[in-house]
Each structure stands twice: as structure tokens, then as C-alpha cells.
Structure 1
């Protein structure tokens, strides 16, 4: 019957955008491990003029309907900074993306992907990397392992069926992004502690907290190290100045300077480690709704967080030091300093580290050395576009 067919249409206007965002609440209504996003944040992310990602990207949102009911959604986008990167680093010319895919069944999923691919081909793209929900720095990848517990802040959660649906439409894994779970209450192995102690005796090394009184200066230091440290990594896309200011403003309320570290060598900033209290703990409790009273609960939590989990989303060491023993020593020192404060000041019990690229041998080795275990795995898939 005609009313059982899936109809795909571009998102147009506020009503469609609201439907695009609201679908996730229905898809995950019975999933106890899904953490709803703040609706206002989603509107901002998806609205040109409010999110600086759109300054260097073209995006089209689509809705799937069956019998007039919304049954799926997807975005298709081209990040012009991503297609300017070298092909051997994963992105590169001709590579488009889709993301934000949610669907009630496999047929709907395939219809949505077909619409996204069609739009990308119209824009001249010949390859897809997906899912990437906007920037590689947002929520890249599809969850394929770790469905049994909620994600930490700025990480995604998906239906287990999606992996098979995507693969059955011709996609293959391009890269795995792993997060690691770490019990921080008991300290680290003796060898790690010895490396930290040796670093503490080295007068050339200084590990300092992020300085909120000079927040913009330290943000620039962090971004400089990040863009240098990650510049050869798979999937890397540089931050623009506008994105730096935007991210700093958004994250500043969550920043606790005593768990965010910059490492200096001979007075030069050479490494950093960012740590965020897991705001998903309270966002899940308020079900993503700021009104009428959710904002009060969130504000109180932000002022005096006592998170069970801290997440380390980013760290970096300048390329010139990455092949040296100094790099791992600085990493161990920052991790241990953060661990001490997280446990002693905030009552934190665990940390989530990552995501870490599957081919990042140095960071995966550090995660293994401190006794952490992979708790979630996110895949980014690829597919050539024919004709």
C-alpha cells in the first residue's frame, strides 16, 4: 500500500527541525542507557549562524515518513576543511559525510542513506565516511560495543541493529575509535608511579593547572598543541578561530582548572590533558529537559559537581616530542595529578579516556599501562559512491 512506503524529504522550517530532533526520544524510549541531549543544544548545533561549523560546511537534513509519521532522520554534509586534508589521513577531496541517522527499521535506514548519498553525489562527492554527526570533533562513529552502560559526555549511543543495517548497504569499517574505562580509586601500577616520581624530580618539567584568570591564553596554548599533535592523525580537521572561541565559551562552565593540565618543559608548553566532569549524569536525570526545573538541577550540579565519572576527551603532545620517552612521562604525570584531584576533591570513582584511534599505538599503550580497559568502540564506515 502507498501509505506503507517510506517517503524522504528535506527538512524545511522549524516544525521539521523539531521533528528531526524529537525522533530520538521515540527511538530510545525504552533504552535505559540512552542519554537525551539538551534540545536547545541540538537546535543550536543544527542552525547555521549559531554554530560556526556551518561557516565551512554545507549540510542538508532529511526526514523519513511512512503514512505521514516520522520514522527516520539523517544529515548529509560536506566539510570543506575536511576535504582539504590529505587523502591518506582519511578525509580528503571528494569525501562527504552523513550523520545523525536514526531509523525504526532497516528499510528506512537504507532509504535515508540513499537520500544522503544522492545529495552528496549532486555536490560532486565520490566517497562517504560515516556516521560523522557534523565535525569529527562532535560525536563521530557508530557505537558497536558497550551498549550496556550510558555514554559519557560528548559521546554517542546507538541501537545495536544499526551496524548490520549500515553494512548491508555496502559500507565497511574505515576506523575504530575506542574509549577506555579506568578505576581511579586505587592508583596506578608501580612502574607508572616510578615514572611519575622521576618526572617530579626533574627540574625541567612543570605540570600546571589551567589558569582561569588567563583562560583565553591557555585555550590558545591548548589549541596550538592540539593542532600540531593531531595534524597527522587519521580524520584530523583543524579548528578555526571562530570554533575555538565557540567551544571555549560552551565548555567553560564545565571546566575545573584543577583537573585540566598543561605540561611545560624548560618553560615551554609542550603537552596538555583536558578533563570534564560527566554532565551526562545529571542530563540523564533531567531527561534532557531544562524546563520547568531541569535548569536549576543542572546549574546546581555545574557549580558543585560530584561526578562519579570524569572524562578525558583530549590530550596532546607536540610532534617533536612524540617519539621520545618524555611524551609518555608527561602523559603519566598529568593523568596521575588529575587522578589525585578527581578522587580527593570530587569523589570520582572512574574515568573514561578517549576516544582514541585504533591506530594510535602510543595512546593505546598508555591506556593499557595504567590498567584501563576498552569499554566502548565506535566505528566510522566508508563507501565509494558510484557514478
Structure 2
């Protein structure tokens, strides 16, 4: 008999977090999330100050066969003048009865909270965090902060009555297989920007608190027209910045500045998933911490995580200089491949810029929607 359990205890939360490890135990591309990071995300993340998240587990007898979280994102609804609800952390055996029960549970919970709009997802908790269902590109492991799932998930979600909202694209460069036009033109473009008093520099980790405050303004401005965007609160951005600072490499963390004002930034991160993949069940203790500490130098890929330019400074060449500098540093450091992503499928300007430097659209993620 299949039953739903509302997660309310530490033991249940641990079971919720650990379920994917058993589900994907034979999948060669699966990368476990760090337990401590997932636990903190679901309990102490600043998102919980203004919003509500309720995880659920589905049992078949004594065996866990699925999980899902219902998410009431008040910030999203206030910013977009909506009354929507979200689902996230969806993992399930290949059983439509189980997935249907999970979505029925989420829908009922959201209705009880007064949601009357659409059910959207998957997001963990919004598009500011890992989101989207992998629908193309199942032949490799996810990079840092990307999602991963079995191909059959799409059928389970569609069977529950959800349909495509929008696709997100991740782009791949293999070794030196890229059009180096942006690198060759780097000096000329940089000189042109300087004539407008725009300079490119590395993020200053010694003054990171002030840097983060300025970057928050750029982030919330540069992405405000994107589908599903919700501005990060000060606490949420500080939480994200604190985590990112632990893995930042200043060769790949750049800002564009005009007269002391940051107008754009580009951020690429070493792909720590190469290490996380070897850490059993995402536990840093007793041995995982050593794999993390001593594995940094073995990382051979990066993820271009974010590149944003505030309105009024676009199409000036800033994007090309940021990309070109990251590519130049990436090749000089001996990294083997890079991913940029994700980008919205309808973001023609940035997608054409990536295609121009031979980016390969190798993975696609999908956001779904359905009337509540």
C-alpha cells in the first residue's frame, strides 16, 4: 500500500535527502548532493523566513518510492503579481501511480494555502537555485549546481497533467574547440570599453562583503526580465555569496566597473561535481572531506555560472570581454572543457553570442506548468 508521509522530523528529513542515493545507485552519471548542504537548504536557508516549504515522502510498505516538496514562494507571487505554487526535489521510481500521488499531495497542500494559479517546477526553491528537469543530454554527469534525473521523469510529470513552460539550455566547449574571436579581439574591445571608463577586474576577496552587496544589485537588475525571476533578498544573496566564496577562483570571477560602479559581472566556477561524484551519499565525514580538500587540483572543467549586464550597458562589448577573459584564463590554466548555463531558450541575444564562439547546446532542462 502506498502512503504519503509529511516530513516533520530530523530522521524523516534525512530519509528525504538520502532517497536519491538509493534510486541512482547504479547510474554512472549520478552525483550525490552534499548532505549538509541539502539539510541546510531545507531548514535554515533565508528563503524560509518569507516562504514555506513542505517535503513529502511516498512509501510502498516500508520502502521509499518517491519524494517531492511543495513550495509556496510568496516573493514570486508578490513580484510577479501571481498566486502560483511550486514543486521541487522530485524523485520517483518509474511508477505513474506513485508520481500521481505525489503531485496530488502537493496540489492539495498548495490549495489549502490558498494557491489558485498554476503549479510550476521543478525548482529547488526558485530559478535562483538548481531547477529544471533534464530532457536532453543524459550521457554525462551534471556539472556543479545543475540537476539530474532519469529520462522517464518527463513521462511521469506529463502524466500528472503538466506541460512545457520553457526550456533552459546548457552549452559545452571541449578543450580548445571554440572560436577564439572574442579572445583575439580582447585587447581592442577592452580598449573601447576603457574609452567609456569601463574596466574589467577580478572580484576582490579581501573586500568581499562590499563586493557582494554591489553584485546583488547587478544580479537583481540584470535578470529581472527573465521567466520565473524573483529578486534575491539581502539575506538570500549573502547566503549564496558565502557558499560561492568557498569555491571561487578569481581567474573566473570578473566584474565590469564604470567610475567605481559595477555594471556587469561574469562568474565561472570549478566543477566540484568531479569530486562530489566520489563522495558516497554526500557525506563529508569521515573520508569525504579529504577527497574535497585534496581533489581541487584534479578538477578539469568549469561552469560559467552567471553573466549579467545591467540595462543601458548591453551590446557595448562587455559580454564579449567577460567571456573572452574567462576563455583565455580557462585555456591557460589547462582545463579540459567548460559548460555555460543555463540560458533561456528565448534569450536570443545571449544564445547567438554563445553560438558565435562555437558553444554546443548539449543539455536541455524543462520547466513545467499546470493549472492548480
TM-score interval, normalised by the smaller of the two chains: over 0.9
| Equivalent residues of 1:207, 1:261 under 8 A apart | yes
Query: Partner of 1:53 in structure 2?
Result: 47
Query: Partner of 2:302 in structure 1?
Result: 310
Once the two structures are superposed, what CA deviation does each residue of 1:296-335 show, in whole Å capped at 9, x if it has no partner?
1202334xx342111011110011223xx30xx2111111
Cα distance in 2 between the residues matched to 1:197 and 1:252:
29
Query: Partner of 2:354 in structure 1?
Result: 367
Of 217, 221, 227, the match for 2:210: 217
1:96-245 matches, cutoff 5 A:
96-104=85-93, 105-126=95-116, 127-186=118-177, 188-190=179-181, 192-193=182-183, 195-202=185-192, 203-204=194-195, 205-245=198-238
Cα distance in 2 between the residues matched to 1:284 and 1:309:
14
Q: Aligned pair in 2 of structure 1 residues 286, 9: CA closer, same or farther (>3 Å)? A: closer
Cα distance in 1 between the residues matched to 2:293 and 2:184:
40
1:74-89 matches, cutoff 5 A:
74-86=68-80
TM-superposed deviation, 1:237:
0.6
Query: Partner of 2:7 in structure 1?
Result: 11
Q: Aligned pair in 2 of structure 1 residues 118, 339: CA closer, same or farther (>3 Å)? A: same
Query: Partner of 1:339 in structure 2?
Result: 327
Q: Which runs of 5 or more residues in structure 2 are unaligned?
A: none
Cα distance in 1 between the residues matched to 2:366 and 2:177:
31
TM-score normalized by the length of structure 2: 0.94
Once the two structures are superposed, what CA deviation does each residue of 1:260-317 show, in whole Å capped at 9, x if it has no partner?
1111245542111011100000110223221211101202334xx3421110111100
Of 299, 307, 323, the match for 2:293: 299
TM-superposed deviation, 1:103:
1.2
Cα distance in 2 between the residues matched to 1:215 and 1:342:
23
* Matched positions, count: 366
Q: Which runs of 5 or more residues in structure 1 are unaligned?
A: 87-91
Query: Partner of 2:271 in structure 1?
Result: 278
Coordinate RMSD, CA, aligned: 1.5
Cα distance in 2 between the residues matched to 1:282 and 1:98:
28
| Equivalent residues of 2:76, 2:230 under 8 A apart | yes
| Equivalent residues of 1:184, 1:339 under 8 A apart | no
